[in-house]
Amino acid sequence: MKLKVCGLKYPDNIKQIAELNPDYMGFIFYEGSKRFVGKDFVMPEISDKIQKSGVFVNAPLEYVLKNVKKHKLDLVQLHGDESPEYCSEAAKHIPVVKAFGIDEHFNMDELNSYKPCCKYFLFDNKTEKYGGSGKPFNWELLKQYDNSVPYFIAGGMDLEKFRIVEQLALPVFGIDVNSKFEIKPGYKDIIKVMQIKNNIR
């Protein structure tokens, strides 16, 4: 199972987390988020072994690709209402992770048109603010998914909830950790990230 640490914005903290060698690190380029990296953000040097993910919400493709090039991103996470056509166009340039808010009413058939153009899916708790709620959803719902595209689980993930995911024995590709591993928005707790990484091992 892969580990993705998302919502990083402070250069010194980014370097500290990078030293723990998570599989993915996520950077938010959506101004509506309190973890927005900022307009003057400069990506610190981190290991090529760590995949850098840029998180975007309903952004013009030009803005996405500009930041992909500027920050040498390895993949983009589209966390808004992006259409399959938008994702397909983006995928011509960079691998796409499409995020979906899940609740009891989510229809798994909605994923079908996205499957040809997305490398991964990310399943999060459904909110009006495009994620970041710090709350889990009912992971049992993922038993309805056919696993044709590997997926990350997000939404209030902490050590206790990670153990629940393990017990469910879902074929999870990776977990996305964010708010439960913070000292303040965008600043991660090194000890907590180290603990979850050791538990995944």
Where do the structural domains in the chain lie, given as residue ranges?
2-200
pLDDT digits (tens, 9 = 90+) for 60-118: 999 999 999 999 999 999 999 999 999 999 999 999 999 999 988 899 999 999 999 99
As a whole number, mean pLDDT of residues 51-68 equals 98
Whether 132 has a pLDDT exceeding 70, the answer reads no
138 band by pLDDT with thresholds 50, 70 and 90: confident
CA angle, 184 then 188 then 194, to 5°? 145
DSSP bridge partners of 121:
98, 151
What's the confidence (pLDDT) of residue 129? 66
Burial of 5 (0-12, 13-18, 19+ CB in 10 A): buried
pLDDT digits (tens, 9 = 90+) for 83-93: 999 999 999 99
CATH topology of domain 2-200: TIM Barrel (3.20.20)
Owner of token pair 């589209």:
78
What's the confidence (pLDDT) of residue 137? 85
Nearest Cα to Cα of residue 17 among 146, 197, 200: 197
* pTM of the full structure: 0.93
